[in-house]
Amino acid sequence: MTLKNKNIIITGGGRGIGAATAKLLAGFGGRVFIVSQTKAELETIANEIKLSGGEAVICAGNVADEKSVRSIFDIVATFGGADILVNNAAVGIMKPFLELTNEDWANTLEVNVMGIVFCCREAIRQMQGKNEGSIVNISSLGGLERLQKFVGFSAYSVSKFGVVGLTECLAEEVKSLGIRVNCLAPGAVDTQMLRMAAPQFKANTQPIDVARLIHFLCDQDLSGSMTGNVIPYFCN
């Protein structure tokens, strides 16, 4: 129960990597606040966690909306404030560059970058008086330099490069507050988002595989003083 009494916010927690992470971290004693726009998905995951003896709080909201994010963290504050944040929510709009509309670009950057900015801002405000805390941002191999890119991934890759840059800068800014910030950059994982956005990719890696490494980065008993790391996760 190494995460007992820790308040853990997981965005994109209704399915895929987020849902797997919520169930795993709840099993280690954490109180998980699962965030998604789809309340029905959240209820399903929360019920599974509760049936297993864990604690889950549903937070329906949109990470791309600053007011919505503030409302989510107001809920967390009533439980003592954030201890761990997993920024997993993302959208993937896969189109050739010339077919991407301004709306496609705006939607991708609002969710994948500004959503993390809004959540980090509120989490750090709640963590800063505790002299500890952990933030794990989910990027992608598509957000790392000198790795193969794919047709139709330009908006997604640009947003994921932004996640890496934010992680590296933020880690330095909050180091003196005792807060650690790390980034995980997985390749293709068998999720609904991948199947819908890029059905040509056949992924063997499951969400729980990624969730285990997220747990490592979240849990200070395991990852110690690690901060500012961007960890590539090459998948079969």
Selected catalytic residue, list 156, 166, 174, 189: 156
> What is the count of structural domains for the chain?
1
- Asked whether residue 12 carries a pLDDT value surpassing 90, the answer given is yes
Which CATH number do you get for residue 24? 3.40.50.720
pTM: 0.95
- Asked whether residue 32 carries a pLDDT value surpassing 70, the answer given is yes
Neighbours of 190 (CB within 10 A): 16
Q: Is residue 2 part of a domain?
A: no
* pLDDT over 70 percentage in the chain: 95
Domain around 59: 7-230
- Residue 156 annotated to the active site: yes
For 161-209, the pLDDT digits (tens) are 999 999 999 999 999 999 999 999 998 776 777 666 666 767 778 999 9
Average pLDDT across the chain, whole number: 94
Q: Is residue 1 part of a domain?
A: no
Q: Is residue 235 part of a domain?
A: no
For 106-156, the pLDDT digits (tens) are 999 999 999 999 999 999 999 998 999 999 999 999 999 988 888 899 999
